[in-house]
Chain A
Amino acid sequence: MVGIGVVDGIAIQKVFIYDNAPCDEHQREYLGADKETARLFTAIETAKDQLTRTAEKLAREIGSDKAEIIEYQINILCDKVFTDKILRNVESGSACEDAVKTTCTEYYEIFNNLDNDYLQQRKIDIIDIQVRLLDILNGRKSISALGSSTIVAAEDLTPSQVAEMELKSVKGILLEKGGRSSHSVIIAQSFGIPCIIGLRGLLNKLDECGTVIMDGKTGDVIINPPAELLADYRGKLDRETKNKKKLEAYISKAPITPDGVQINVYANIASAAEARMSLENGGEGVGLFRTELLYMGFSETPSREAQFKTYSRIAKDLGSKPLIIRTLDVGGDKEIAYLGIEKEANPFLGYRAIRYCLDHESLFKDQIAAVLQAAKYGNIKLMFPMISTMDELMKAKRLVNETKAELLSQGTEFADIPIGMMMEAPAAALMADAFAQHVDFFSVGTNDLIQYLFAADRNNDKVSHLNSYYHPALFRCVNAICTAALKHEIEIDICGHAGEAPDLIPIWIAMGISGLSVSIPSIPLVKKIICETRAKDARELLDKVLQFNTSGEVKEYLNTINGRMQAYDTGAIGSTQ
């Protein structure tokens, strides 16, 4: 079958079918107190094991000391008052599943009725534990228990499910749903895991014993392939690996065009582990640290201390290389249950990112304080997402100043840092000239900018043909932002998918950008293209594409003027016409 390939690459593996639909509410026959008790205790032990593994994994990857909420959930499973209640239900004739549900509901109600917002929110842990125990009792596999080297197949994956996965074992991801720019796809891209979305009806066709071939470039999925095809793809996979090896020569090269224009190549990251990976791949810093994962990996807001530890650790790892930390970009397709943002009809046009943070000053200031404190340990810059009006920028900057004053009065050490903003709302792009006088840098978030320019939801398949980063409207828009930035002599980077599209890189160079922030696996290729692009030729190319009317014309022109561009084609991310 064929889906939409979103991260390039071939994988040939067995599949792990992850069924994450809620468990059925069917009544099960009571097996007697002894058997039910035994099942219950086994389930509780399994749940503890899963949580312990997840806690260790988060500590390793996100870099915070420990995930305290997970530890708290483990403690609940060890809580004799809690487990005795379930046990009494079992002894009086309930099946384990019902006994777990009854006790969890009881606690849920208690928490829900407490006159304390924080404790009320903590009913989430009770639900988490109930779901986990019922999943185990129903014989459902946990995503934290992947074997070595598998392709994961699921309907869709939530950020916390992605956080639980051991990504090193994941060789490919197949999703029945999923959006091009959804969190799971972004993570797959960071780790260079081939990924195909939109595979309707996939899970019913798979069986776990057979081999599956997937090609993230074409979107092809072949279940139980015949020997010939298998050999064919093994050959392709082999060539792919060799190509990657060749590009490794660029890891240590400086990205400078033959006529002497230097373009910084940064990485987009979401965790401390990725920061280290980016350095190994030749990254010259971090152009976008998405802090959402820090908030999504837990079931409560990470403390200022936990954030400080993560930020300062990454800053130290990067040394003098820049680390641009983007403040919390919640909302849109990134849900964080405990923040209690209501479901909206148009979440991408709704209460998200800076709009949410400006209304939640203490949460926002905690993050800002952690960033300012960490700035003593490296080259940190702060960036606000989704600014659309000057009022928002001014308020955000005022909150930074207030935070500084508070730190000063507490005698807490911190360092002053450059402040920048994302360019992703068309209103801000049109006002770039004004904004450039109030920030130290811009970073163009092309994924959101495109969906807002074309008024087309980036996660809706039916309108995805509109979200083309080959459209001249995008070039005109980014060019205007660049012109404003150059006029006021501030830095400008591009940090969306379009920034790493090989055939578009000359266009961005021509606009005068300072840097490209790209996914980690793309760094060597992006450097190679910069090293091979004359800025002078690029400027001629830019003049030409600005005059076209359609993305079709642009693509055709790029293909004809430069046959070699096709050889760079890294796949389908956002490249649909």
Chain B
Amino acid sequence: MIQAQLEVRNELGIHARVANRISSCCQGFSSRIEAESGTAFMDLKSVLNVMILNVKYGEKLTVAIEGEDENEAFESLKELFDNKFGEK
């Protein structure tokens, strides 16, 4: 299992466009991909979950990825966050 922190670095934070990209990216892998929210873990393949996490600019998201393609999934997700989801 991979556990890591990803920082939201685009100015607008998570919004509908970004949530589309994050959940679509996660849906491309068979691994379980979840994010910590308070005491619970939420499935990031759900676009509504990604929105509800309510992560703002500069905040960090703790993700847990487990499955056969966990390395590839983490790399893709990290790239998406590092590129600010293609925004400013």
A residues near B, CB below 8 A? 68-69, 71-72, 75-76, 78-82, 107, 110-111, 114-116, 118-119, 122, 125, 300
Contacts of A75 in B (CB 8 A): 19-20, 23-24, 47
Specify which of A69, A107, A118 lies most central, judged by the most chain B CB atoms within 10 Å of its CB: A118
B residues near A, CB below 8 A? 15-17, 19-20, 23-24, 43, 45-49, 51-52, 54, 56
Contacts of A78 in B (CB 8 A): 47
Query: A76 vs B48: C-alpha distance in the bound complex, in angstroms?
Result: 7
Query: A75 vs B50: C-alpha distance in the bound complex, in angstroms?
Result: 12
Contacts of B15 in A (CB 8 A): 118-119
Query: A448 vs B23: C-alpha distance in the bound complex, in angstroms?
Result: 46
Query: A116 vs B46: C-alpha distance in the bound complex, in angstroms?
Result: 19
B52 partner, pick from A80, A111, A300, beta carbons under 8 A: A111
Query: A71 vs B49: C-alpha distance in the bound complex, in angstroms?
Result: 16
A114 adjacent to B52 (CB under 8 Å): yes
Contacts of B47 in A (CB 8 A): 72, 75-76, 78-79
Query: A125 vs B16: C-alpha distance in the bound complex, in angstroms?
Result: 10
A119 adjacent to B54 (CB under 8 Å): yes
Q: List 7 A-B contacts (CB under 8 A).
A: A68-B17, A68-B20, A75-B23, A78-B47, A81-B45, A110-B52, A115-B54
A116 adjacent to B56 (CB under 8 Å): yes
B19 adjacent to A81 (CB under 8 Å): no
> Shortest Cβ distance from B86 into chain A, in angstroms?
11
Pick the 5 closest A-B CB pairs, nearest first. A81-B46, A72-B16, A75-B47, A79-B46, A68-B17
Contacts of A118 in B (CB 8 A): 15
Query: A293 vs B49: C-alpha distance in the bound complex, in angstroms?
Result: 30
> Shortest Cβ distance from B29 into chain A, in angstroms?
14
Query: A68 vs B19: C-alpha distance in the bound complex, in angstroms?
Result: 11
> Shortest Cβ distance from A231 into chain B, in angstroms?
54
Query: A80 vs B19: C-alpha distance in the bound complex, in angstroms?
Result: 15
A69 adjacent to B16 (CB under 8 Å): yes
A72 partner, pick from B20, B46, B56, beta carbons under 8 A: B20
Query: A122 vs B16: C-alpha distance in the bound complex, in angstroms?
Result: 8
A79 partner, pick from B16, B17, B23, B54, beta carbons under 8 A: B23
Contacts of A82 in B (CB 8 A): 46, 48
Query: A36 vs B26: C-alpha distance in the bound complex, in angstroms?
Result: 30
> Shortest Cβ distance from B30 into chain A, in angstroms?
14
B46 adjacent to A122 (CB under 8 Å): no
A72 adjacent to B19 (CB under 8 Å): yes
Query: A188 vs B72: C-alpha distance in the bound complex, in angstroms?
Result: 52
Contacts of B43 in A (CB 8 A): 81
Contacts of B48 in A (CB 8 A): 76, 79, 81-82, 107
> Shortest Cβ distance from B37 into chain A, in angstroms?
12
Query: A116 vs B16: C-alpha distance in the bound complex, in angstroms?
Result: 13
6 A-B pairs besides A107-B48, A125-B16 with CB distance below 8 A are A68-B17, A79-B46, A80-B46, A114-B54, A116-B54, A122-B51
Query: A111 vs B46: C-alpha distance in the bound complex, in angstroms?
Result: 15
> Shortest Cβ distance from A276 into chain B, in angstroms?
28
Contacts of B52 in A (CB 8 A): 110-111, 114, 119
A80 adjacent to B45 (CB under 8 Å): yes
Closest to B24 in A: A75
Query: A80 vs B47: C-alpha distance in the bound complex, in angstroms?
Result: 9
Contacts of B46 in A (CB 8 A): 79-82
> Shortest Cβ distance from B27 into chain A, in angstroms?
8
Query: A78 vs B20: C-alpha distance in the bound complex, in angstroms?
Result: 11
Closest to B43 in A: A81
Contacts of B54 in A (CB 8 A): 114-116, 119
B16 partner, pick from A80, A115, A300, beta carbons under 8 A: A300
A68 adjacent to B23 (CB under 8 Å): no
